[in-house]
Amino acid sequence: MNFRIIEYIDAIGRQGTMSGAARELFITSAALNQQLLKLERELGVQLFVRAKHRLIPTEAGEICLKGIRSMLDIWEETQSELQDVAGNVKGSFKMGLPYDHGSEVFARIWPEFHRKFPGINIQCYQLLVPELLEMTRAGEIDAAFLLGGNPSSWKGIHYIPLSSENLLLGIPAGHPYLEGRKISPVPLPAPDLKSFSGDNFALALKRSTMRTELIDAIFQEAGFSPNVMVESSFNSFLEQLTAEGVCNTIIPQSQVSNHEDVAWFYLPGSPRFHFGLGYAKDYKLSSAMRHFIALAEIDAKKHLDFPPPK
C-alpha cells in the first residue's frame, strides 16, 4: 500500500461519497473507484458498502480508517518536528474564527506571524462557536478561537484563556429610562432589567454561545423573555440598530464604539464573556502554532480584556 492510496481512503471516509472525495483529491470518480476496488482485492475485505448516494464503512473499513488516520497524524507530527529542527517551517493550518472577535484578532496578528513564518498558510473557517467546537473535536480544523460564558463545559477541548470582558446592555439615547440622565463614555451601573421588559431587543443568534451560555440566563433571572426582533452574529450591526432607536441590545464591551447615540450599562450579576483558543486534546502544537497563540494572547489582553465593574 503506497502513501497515496492512504490519502485516497481517508478522503473517502471523511467525504462519504466518491464524488466528494474525488473533488478533494483532484482526480476522477472512476479513477478513485478503481483504486478502492484494487485495495479491497489486495486486502481481501470490503471496506465500504455502496449505499444510495453514500459510501458507508464496513467493520473492516472502520478498522482501516482508524489506522490510516493514526498514520496521517504521526506523519504530520513528524513533518512538523523536522521543520522545527531545520528552521524552515512550512505547511498549513486550518483555523476556526468566530464572527467579530476571532476575525479581528487574526487580522491584527497575521502580519507579524507571517513575517516570522512565511512558509505557513492558514485556511480560515468563520462559523459560530458550536460549529467550531464540533469541527475541532473531529479534527477537521487544527484550532479555533472560541467565545462563551462557560469554557469548562466544552468537552474534548484543550482551552487556553486569552481574555475576559463584560457584556453590556445598550439602549437608545432617546429611551424614556434615560430621562434626566447623561450618556456616559463609561458603562453605567446595572439597572433593573424589568424596566425594559416591554422593549424590543436585537441580540446574538439563538444558537450562539453568547445566547445559550449567558444572555438567555440573564433574562430568565430577570423574570421575563425579551421580544427579540432581530438576531445577528455581527455586534456592530446590533449596535447600529440600537443607535437608530429601534431596539435595545446586549453586546461585549470590546465591541462597543458608539457612546453618543447609545447608553451602555453593566448587567446584573456582572456576567463575564470569555475569549480563548481551543484545540483537540490529542493535538500536538508545532512551534508555529505556539507562536500564533502567544501573539493572540498579547493582542487579546490589549483589545478584548476588560475588568468587572467595581
- 191 and 52 belong to one structural domain: no
Rounded to 5 degrees, what angle do the CA atoms 73, 77, 81 make?
170
Q: CB pairs under 8 A, 24+ apart, for 29-34?
A: 32/8
Q: To 10 degrees, the CA torsion angle through 182, 187, 190, 194? A: 60
Lookup: cell for 90? 512550512
pLDDT at 167 (0 to 100): 98
Q: Which helix (H) or strand (E) holds 262?
A: strand 262-266
- Of 80-89, 182-191, 229-238, least confident by mean pLDDT is 80-89
Q: How many residues does the chain have?
A: 310
Q: Using one digit for the tens of pLDDT, what is the confidence trace for 215-270?
A: 999 999 999 999 999 999 999 999 999 999 999 999 999 999 999 999 999 999 99
- Of 89-103, 149-163, 241-255, 286-300, least confident by mean pLDDT is 89-103
pLDDT at 89 over 70: no
Q: What is the mean pLDDT of residues 168-193?
A: 94
Query: How much of the chain exceeds pLDDT 90, in percent?
Result: 77
- Residue 308 in domain: no
- 256 and 286 belong to one structural domain: no
pLDDT band at 87 (very low <50, low <70, confident <90, very high): low
The three state secondary structure string of 5-18 is: HHHHHHHHHHHCCH
Q: Which helix (H) or strand (E) holds 3?
A: helix 3-15
Lookup: cell for 102? 476571532
Please identify, among 21, 51, 83, the residue that sits at the C-terminal boundary of a domain. 83
Q: CA–CA separation, 137 vs 221, rounded Å?
A: 32
- Of 76-85, 87-96, 252-261, 284-293, least confident by mean pLDDT is 76-85
- Residue 25 in domain: yes
Q: What is the mean pLDDT of residues 152-181?
A: 95
Lookup: cell for 281? 486534546
Residues whose CB falls within 8 Å of the CB of residue 85, separated by 6 or more in sequence, listed in order: none
In angstroms, the first-to-last Cα distance of the chain is: 65
- Residue 49 in domain: yes
> Taking all residues of the chain, what is their mean pLDDT, rounded to a whole number?
92
pLDDT at 57 over 90: yes
- 136 and 281 belong to one structural domain: yes
- 177 and 212 belong to one structural domain: yes
Contact indicator for 172, 242 with CB cutoff of 8 Å:
yes
The CA distances from residue 78 to 74, 94, 285, in Å, are 6, 18, 12
- Of 70-79, 111-120, 288-297, least confident by mean pLDDT is 70-79
Contact indicator for 156, 280 with CB cutoff of 8 Å:
yes
> pTM above the 0.85 mark?
no
- 199 and 240 belong to one structural domain: yes
Q: What is the mean pLDDT of residues 44-55?
A: 90
Domain hosting 289: range is 88-163+275-303
pLDDT at 133 over 70: yes
Lookup: cell for 76? 504530520
- Of 13-22, 72-81, 163-172, 288-297, least confident by mean pLDDT is 72-81
Please identify, among 64, 83, 102, the residue that sits at the C-terminal boundary of a domain. 83
Q: What is the mean pLDDT of residues 4-23?
A: 90
Q: What is the CA radius of gyration of the chain?
A: 24
- 264 and 191 belong to one structural domain: yes
Q: CA–CA separation, 133 vs 156, rounded Å?
A: 9
Number of domains in the chain: 3
Q: What is the CATH number of the domain that holds 69?
A: 1.10.10.10
pLDDT at 83 over 80: no
